[in-house]
Structure 1
């Protein structure tokens, strides 16, 4: 089994329990803050590609704010959940897609969004370069990633124990970036950073808005 297949298989097995586990691990206030940040980055005329949509946790925020959303994931189990989540949004479609080789032409989207993707994959730079390719000139790469960076040791231990109890042992690809560390990877993919901040609630979440140059 390839590394990519292992990544997808791990998360596919979590589809049924993922939403409840996510809230338990990161906290409702943290997720609400991330959703609010995302909503403020979107424009009504945007054509948006979402990579790693999972069960559709962030997808409805995009569908409510943008002209059109293509929500994608490699997990059929996750996509089935996302379809249910988005069934009342005629401006949204759900499709399988591989972030390492995005099956869309150059300069196709106004914005690409990834929610909790970059810290769980082995090749974030490869995915970001693909995002750069499919974005229009001046298009935005929007990313939200939960992180343990900047939290106390006790808080990290508590989060880790909660994660294991809800989702099992995390894949070895999982990493807790600092905002400046993740922003540097985004820069290497050819983006200009417009915003890179860490929102602190029950958990910490990195929010990045970067523009294709």
Structure 2
């Protein structure tokens, strides 16, 4: 998605942010066996019990329009930030969070569902609808009472005889309570469970 004045959405990945992934499996006591890790692991590589894909945050090079920066997407989900401008998406008057979705949430209960799309603040929603082809086809706006980590979109790996790791499945949903699968997953996007969903009319440009 592009927006006026050449602005690139906050969560868009840039070519200069790519990072190499040297993956392996090693024994870990908390996992009760082996788990996926980097050859040079750091404590902050794991979030919510799953290995997270490494990526830079320099925003250097050229925009990779179809790709999402893992760290910025994660930050938007954790702190309810707008995926377009990176600013808070919470409505100061109501305390509810604006959420713009091209695909409807996957419902888990009345007024509840999950998504990997971060929020979009009220100010950025009109521009997003104009400049994103996917949103122009279909879009729904909600306000949300709460959002909490629920799952990840991840590649699943298995160990190889030489001590390496080979991917066996790509971009699959792994819930955060699927502990065995999490030990073999490399997470690229955080999925959150939205509660108190209220569908709302699409805001218009001021």
- TM-score, scaled to structure 2: 0.24
**Which structure has the highest helix share of the two?**
1
Higher RCO (Cα < 8 Å, 6 or more apart): 2
**Which structure has the highest strand share of the two?**
2
The structure with the largest alpha-carbon Rg is 2
